[in-house]
Amino acid sequence: MDNLTLLGKKEAGFPRSPEEAKLESFKNQYPARKYTIQFVCPEFTSLCPKTGQPDFATIYINYVPDQLCIESKSLKLYLASYRNHGAFHEHVTNKILDDIVEACRPQWAEVIGKFNVRGGISINITACYENNKSDK
């Protein structure tokens, strides 16, 4: 637990960008058990990289942990770092998945971005990752 620098910190401040944000993890106490962790962020916001207008979404993060689990406060701060970040929906969803995978090396992970209607069209993106155990 010594590696958790944000949990319990009273003034953790929001990172200015996803690159500045830090996703933290802790040891999974049930690595032999296959179970799913789901995070739901119904107030996700990012910016259109072309117009600067806000894009609103619900982000679903589902994963089966291996040795590590994502710490939720660091995830909250990480997701909030997108508020002033310009990126297309496809990039946002895939970048979140890449960062989750890097932070905890799960057995399996999925990130779903359900972006609110803009211009009469809603965009839903699903990005998936499956750990190939032979790569370990």
Q: Mention every residue, 6+ apart, whose C-beta is less than 8 A from residue 16.
A: 81, 84
Which helix (DSSP H) or strand (DSSP E) does residue 102 occupy? helix 89-104
Q: Which residues pair with 121 in a beta bridge?
A: 118
Sign of CA dihedral 40, 131, 106, 55: negative
**69 catalytically annotated:** no
The one catalytic residue among 41, 55, 69, 104: 55
The one catalytic residue among 2, 41, 48, 135: 48
**55 catalytically annotated:** yes
Residues taking part in catalysis: 48, 55
